[in-house]
Amino acid sequence: MNYESMKFFYAFSCAVLCLVVLSPTLAAIVTFPEGQKFSELGILGPNHMLEGYPFSISTNELCKVYLDLSNYMGGLEYYAVYVKLRNQSEPLPDPEAGLPSSLEPIFQYRIFLMDNATWEREFSFSFEDVSFEGNVSRVSRLSINGYDVSVNKVAVWDDANSGFYYQLFFELWIYNATASSFQFQKPFVGLWLNVTRPL
């Protein structure tokens, strides 16, 4: 090894050693860009897969899906998931404007979730009190996770799709400590259900 090579090797070794020794101080001073912060809400079918969702259901038929919530916000978060029921003409949330649906929740979950953690719960439901009169269907009561929930929803027969359609949907809200209240987050997911007449 010649003198120039040894000089380069010595200078390089000194630079690496300085970086190793100073790395804690540099980490405190230099801020690196953070990744995108977000929360993820989804529905899985009865076998924990993206398939097998209930669709055509009859009165008193017990259905089951799984709600799946993941936190990638960078810290502990406090969430609310509001369950709502609508017919085809009632409003959905408007994610572009950041507005939730104006419908009242019929059920809710409250969840504390650590960063990079996932919460999953079985969501079981059945339409317990449904009446049919001509081209109108009325749902008066649902069972959600074993709890009776009073609702008053009417759907008109849909000729194009041959059914009485209702949608169960789930809005994600996150607690804002500054405002001391929950605020709507853009993700929402739902299930379209064709409630059929009993045989």
- CATH assignment of 38-196, given 3.20.10.10, 3.40.50.800, 3.30.499.10, 2.60.40.3880? 2.60.40.3880
**SS3 category, 7:** helix
User: What is the residue-averaged pLDDT of the chain?
Assistant: 88
Least confident of 26-35, 50-59, 124-133: 26-35
Residue 22 one-letter amino acid: L
pLDDT over 50 (residue 30): no
> Torsions phi, psi of 4, nearest 5?
-65, -40
Helix (H) or strand (E) holding 9: helix 3-29
What is the model's pLDDT at position 5? 60
The predicted structure's pLDDT at residue 32: 44
Q: How confident is the model at residue 24 (pLDDT cuts 50, 70, 90)?
A: low
> What is the band of 181 on the pLDDT scale with cuts at 50, 70, 90?
very high
pLDDT > 80? residue 102:
yes
Q: What is the mean pLDDT of residues 78-100?
A: 94
d(CA 70, CA 145): 21
26: phi then psi, degrees, rounded to nearest 5: -65, -40
Position 35 scores a pLDDT of: 72
pLDDT value for 199: 57
Q: Give 131-180 pLDDT, tens digit per residue.
A: 999 999 999 999 999 999 999 999 999 999 999 999 999 999 999 999 99
pLDDT computed for residue 65 by the predictor = 98
Closest to 107 (Cα-Cα) out of 125, 84, 79, 77: 84
Q: What are phi and psi of 158, to 5 degrees?
A: -100, 105
Q: What percent of the chain has pLDDT over 70?
A: 82
User: Quick check: helix, strand or coil at residue 16?
Assistant: helix
